């Protein structure tokens, strides 16, 4: 029996309060309104950004449904939706692309100005929520909310992908892989023969490593305080592993010495303001480029010596790898299907959706790269 046009009762992992474990409860998901799409989620990854939200480091209103790295199938669509239809396999997009605003029309921009990726209203663009728990609305997160059997997104925040793509793998194209890979090949535009340093070797950092390698970097230095991350990093292309805990001087000094003057490209993929400043100082003073990929705590400030930029360094940031999400995601999925890159090394754990709290513990204790939750 079709569920189109009806309220769906389903299971969701709800965050009722900041810093509290997820509660698996039954919620109600209203049908999509005009220009909205209701999606049955098949698989979702756990990204550190979700944990930043749980911990309160990244502000988001509670109670909420987190999750932003998923793949699913369209259950029904609202009036006026033309780019997807029921039955289509899709990836929800935490960086929407309306295709019509000044940013979407600019070849260099990937952050839609009509539907901001940084919107913290917790509501759909038209101002209300499609999620209800015990008669009260729940907030959405990052334009997506994927820790639920069903979610509703705006049409600008969903991309149709190859029907044959395995959801338990390509869900990583919804965030971690695309973010890291794009930061290297698109935002930094790493050149063949260059030296790169990647701060943070989690799911996103290792994807930066894959991007640096694909771009032909000849030396990739991996920096992490958890030495357990080094084996996999080497497998993916890291040539030198550095643990800041092994040195009694600042890590930027260690890297400048190792590279005889600084790396061509550095990437901060942790989300700490101190490592953002360290990564800037670790790139070559005339022509080095440093890219901020990690999400810093809301309202935090970085303190740095302006002389670092005065000499010529470039400091950039990269949200979702600089990709225009709605057009890039289907292509990235095609590239995955054509075996142009692999996602398997990033997926260390697969768990049933109910075990979401276990999945977050694996991330917090540094034991996982990516945990994929299956519905």
* 175 contacts Zn ion (rule: CB under 5 A): yes
* 122 contacts ligand CND (rule: CB under 6 A): no
Closer CB to ligand CND, 27 or 279, in the complex: 279
Token pair belonging to 86: 């029921």
* 179 contacts ligand CND (rule: CB under 6 A): yes
Rule CB under 5 A: choose which of 12, 13, 35, 49 binds Zn ion. 49
Instruction: Give the one entry of ligand CND, Zn ion, none that residue 71 binds, where binding means its C-beta sits below a cut-off of 5 to 8 angstroms depending on kind.
Output: none
**By CB under 6 A, which span of 34-42, 147-155, 199-207, 344-352 interacts with ligand CND?**
199-207
Instruction: Give the one entry of ligand CND, Zn ion, none that residue 200 binds, where binding means its C-beta sits below a cut-off of 5 to 8 angstroms depending on kind.
Output: ligand CND
Please state the closest distance from residue 161 (CB atom) to Zn ion, in A: 18
Cβ contacts of residue 166 below 8 Å, gap of 6+?
A: none
Q: In what order do the strands lie in the sheet with 289-292?
A: 240-242, 219-223, 195-199, 265-268, 289-292, 314-317
Q: How far apart are CA 210 and CA 1, in angstroms?
A: 45
How many residues form the binding site for ligand CND (CB under 6 A)?
33
In the stretch 224-243, what mask flags binding to ligand CND with x, by CB under 6 A? xxx--x--------------
Q: How far apart are CA 374 and CA 42, in angstroms?
A: 6
Instruction: Looking at residues 44 to 73 of the shown chain, list those that interact with ligand CND (rule: CB under 6 A).
Output: 47-49, 52
* 154 contacts ligand CND (rule: CB under 6 A): no
Q: How far is CA 265 from the centre of its chain?
A: 20
Q: How far is CA 285 from CA 197, 260, 290, 317, in A?
A: 14, 11, 11, 18
Q: How far apart are CA 237 and CA 232, in angstroms?
A: 9
Listed as own residue / partner, the contacts of 103-112 with beta carbons closer than 8 Å and 24 or more positions apart are 104/324, 109/324, 110/319, 110/320, 110/322, 110/323, 110/324, 110/325, 111/319, 112/156
Do the beta carbons of residue 218 and residue 193 sit within 8 Å?
Answer: yes
Rule CB under 6 A: choose which of 172, 184, 233, 319 binds ligand CND. 319
* 332 contacts ligand CND (rule: CB under 6 A): no
Token pair belonging to 274: 């101190």
Please state the closest distance from residue 203 (CB atom) to Zn ion, in A: 8
* 366 contacts ligand CND (rule: CB under 6 A): yes
Rule CB under 6 A: choose which of 92, 125, 202, 359 binds ligand CND. 202
**By CB under 6 A, which span of 23-31, 118-126, 219-227, 233-241 interacts with ligand CND?**
219-227
Instruction: Give the one entry of Zn ion, ligand CND, none that residue 52 binds, where binding means its C-beta sits below a cut-off of 5 to 8 angstroms depending on kind.
Output: ligand CND
In the stretch 71-100, what mask flags binding to ligand CND with x, by CB under 6 A? ------------------------------
Token pair belonging to 207: 């994807």
Do the beta carbons of residue 67 and residue 353 sit within 8 Å?
Answer: no
For 124-152, letters b (16+ CB in 10 Å) and e give: bbeeebbbebeeeebbbbbbbbbbbbbbb
Query: Which residues lie near ligand CND (CB under 6 A)?
Result: 47-49, 52, 175-176, 179, 199-205, 223-226, 229, 244, 269-272, 275, 293-295, 318-320, 363, 366
Query: Which residues lie near Zn ion (CB under 5 A)?
Result: 47, 49, 175
């Amino acid at each position: 029996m079709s569920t189109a046009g009806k309220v769906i009762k389903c299971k969701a992992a709800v965050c009722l309060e900041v810093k509290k474990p997820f509660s698996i409860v039954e919620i109600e998901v209203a049908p999509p309104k005009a220009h909205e799409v209701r999606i049955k989620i098949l698989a979702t990854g756990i990204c550190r950004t979700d944990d930043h939200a749980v911990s309160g480091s990244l502000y988001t209103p509670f109670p909420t449904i987190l999750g932003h790295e998923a793949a699913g199938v369209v259950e029904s669509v609202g009036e006026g939706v033309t780019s997807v239809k029921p039955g289509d396999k899709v990836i929800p997009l935490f960086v929407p692309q309306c295709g019509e605003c000044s940013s979407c029309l600019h070849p260099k921009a990937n952050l839609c100005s009509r539907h901001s990726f940084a919107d913290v209203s917790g509501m759909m663009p038209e101002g209300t929520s499609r999620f209800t728990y015990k008669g009260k609305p729940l907030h959405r997160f990052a334009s997506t909310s994927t820790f639920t059997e069903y979610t509703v997104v705006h049409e600008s925040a969903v991309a149709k992908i190859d029907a044959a793509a395995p959801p338990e793998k390509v869900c990583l194209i919804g965030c971690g892989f695309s973010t890291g890979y794009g930061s290297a090949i698109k935002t930094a535009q790493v050149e063949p023969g260059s030296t790169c340093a990647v701060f943070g070797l989690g799911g996103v950092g290792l994807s930066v490593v894959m991007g640096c390698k694909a771009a032909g970097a000849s030396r990739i230095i991996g920096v992490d305080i958890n030495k357990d991350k080094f084996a996999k990093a080497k497998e993916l292309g890291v040539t030198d592993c550095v643990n800041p805990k092994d040195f009694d001087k600042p890590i930027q000094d260690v890297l400048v010495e190792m590279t005889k003057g600084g790396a061509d490209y550095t990437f901060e993929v942790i989300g700490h303001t101190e490592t953002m400043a360290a990564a800037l100082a670790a790139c070559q003073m005339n022509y080095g480029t440093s890219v901020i990929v990690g999400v810093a705590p809301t309202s935090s400030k970085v303190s740095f010596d302006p002389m670092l930029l005065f000499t010529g360094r470039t400091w950039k940031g990269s949200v979702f790898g600089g990709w225009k999400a709605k057009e890039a995601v289907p292509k990235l999925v095609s590239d995955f299907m054509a075996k142009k890159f692999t996602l398997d090394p990033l997926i260390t754990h697969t768990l049933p959706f109910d075990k979401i709290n276990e999945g977050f513990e694996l991330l917090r204790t540094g034991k996982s790269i990516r945990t994929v939750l299956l519905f």
